[in-house]
Chains A and B, each alone.
Chain A
Amino acid sequence: MAFEDYQNIIHRCFRCGYCRFTSDCSYLGFNCPVYDKYHFETYSPGGMMWLIYASLVKKEIKWTEHMSKILYSCTMCRNCSEQCRFKFSQDIIDILKAAREETVDAQTAPPMVGRFLTNVYMYSNPYREMRGKRGDWAEDIKIPRYQKGDEFLYYVGCVGSYDTTSKKAARALGKVLLKSGLSFGILGEKENCDGNEVDMLGEKSLFEFLRENNIQMFKELGVKKIVTLSPHSYNAMKNNYSDEFEVFHYTQLLWNLIECGKLNVFENFKAKVTYHDPCFLGRYNNEYDSPRQILRAIPGIELIEMERNRENAFCCGGGGGNFYTDILGSGKDSPSRVRVREAYDTGATVLAVACPICMMMLEDAVKAEGLEEKLAIKDISEIVEESL
Chain B
Amino acid sequence: MIEKDTIYNSLAVIVGKDFVSNRQEELYIYSRDPGAQRPRKVDYVVMPKTAEEVQKIVLLANEEKVPITPMGGGFTLSALTVPIRGGIVLDMKRMDRIVEINEKSKYAIVEAGVSQGMLKSYLERNHPHLQHSMPEAPPTVTIVGNALIFGHGHLTPMHGVSSSMINGMEVVLPTGEICKIGSCSISPYWFSRGPLPDLAGLFIGWFGTTGIITRISLQLFPKPKLRDVLVFQTNDPDSLPDVVFEVFQTEMAENFFIIAQDKPDWMCGHIYTVILVTGNSESEFDFKKKKLVGMFDERVKFLEETPSTFKRRFLDVPPFAATAADFAKGGGFEYVGAILPIEKIPEAWRRGWEIARRYSVVFSLGHQALDCGHSIMFGLNYSFNRADEGDAERVRNAIDESDKMILELGGVLWKAELPGQKLMMKKIEPNTRELMNRVRKMLDPNGIMNPGNWSD
Contact = CB atoms under 8 A, between A and B. Distances in A.
Interface of A: 8, 11-18, 20-21, 25-28, 38-42, 47, 50-51, 53-54, 57, 60-62, 64, 66-67, 70, 85-87
Interface in B18-67: 18-19, 21, 23-26, 28-30, 34, 45, 47
Contacts of A39: 19, 47, 91, 93-94
17 contacts: A12-B386, A14-B333, A16-B325, A25-B117, A39-B91, A39-B93, A41-B26, A41-B91, A51-B29, A60-B28, A61-B25, A62-B24, A64-B23, A64-B24, A66-B23, A86-B326, A87-B326
Nearest to A13: B331
Those 9 A-B pairs whose CB atoms lie nearest each other, nearest first: A27-B117, A17-B140, A14-B325, A16-B322, A16-B138, A12-B331, A11-B387, A28-B121, A27-B139
A40 B121 contact: no
Nearest to B18: A38
A85 B331 contact: no
Nearest to A58: B387
Nearest to B331: A12
Contact of B29 (A26, A41, A57, A64): A41
Contacts of A50: 28-29
Given A16-B138, A39-B94, A40-B29, 19 more contacts: A12-B326, A14-B331, A14-B332, A15-B331, A16-B140, A16-B322, A17-B140, A20-B140, A25-B139, A27-B120, A27-B121, A28-B122, A40-B45, A41-B30, A41-B74, A60-B28, A70-B25, A86-B326, A87-B326
Given A41-B29, A41-B91, A17 B139 contact: yes
Nearest to B389: A58
A64 B25 contact: yes
Interface in B119-175: 120-122, 125, 138-140
Contacts of B122: 28
Contacts, number: 101
B330 A61 contact: no
Nearest to A40: B26
Contacts of A28: 118, 121-122, 125
**Residue of A14, A18, A70, A87 contacting most chain B CB atoms (<10 Å):** A14
Contacts of A51: 25, 28-29
B76 interface: no
A52 to B, nearest CB: 11
Nearest to A60: B28
Given A28-B118, A85-B320, A40 B47 contact: yes
Contacts of B374: none
Given A11-B330, A12-B331, A14-B326, A42 B118 contact: no
A27 B115 contact: yes
B426 interface: no
Contacts of B227: none
B138 A17 contact: yes
Contacts of B47: 39-40
Interface of B: 1, 18-19, 21, 23-26, 28-30, 34, 45, 47, 73-75, 91, 93-94, 115-118, 120-122, 125, 138-140, 320, 322-323, 325-326, 329-333, 385-387
B44 to A, nearest CB: 12
A119 to B, nearest CB: 28
A67 B117 contact: no
B25 A21 contact: no
A90 to B, nearest CB: 15
A338 to B, nearest CB: 15
Contacts of A41: 26, 29-30, 74, 91
A21 B29 contact: no
A17 B21 CA distance: 21
A12 B330 contact: yes
B450 to A, nearest CB: 18
A85 B29 contact: no
A47 B125 CA distance: 30
Contacts of A53: 387
Nearest to A27: B117
Contacts of B387: 8, 11, 53, 57
**Residue of B23, B122, B125 contacting most chain A CB atoms (<10 Å):** B23
Contact of B28 (A21, A27, A54): A54
Contact of A25 (B18, B30, B121, B326): B121
A65 B21 CA distance: 14
B29 A42 contact: yes
Contacts of B138: 16-18
A111 B47 CA distance: 28
Nearest to B113: A39
A11 B118 contact: no
Nearest to B322: A16
A26 to B, nearest CB: 5
Contact of B118 (A27, A47, A86): A27
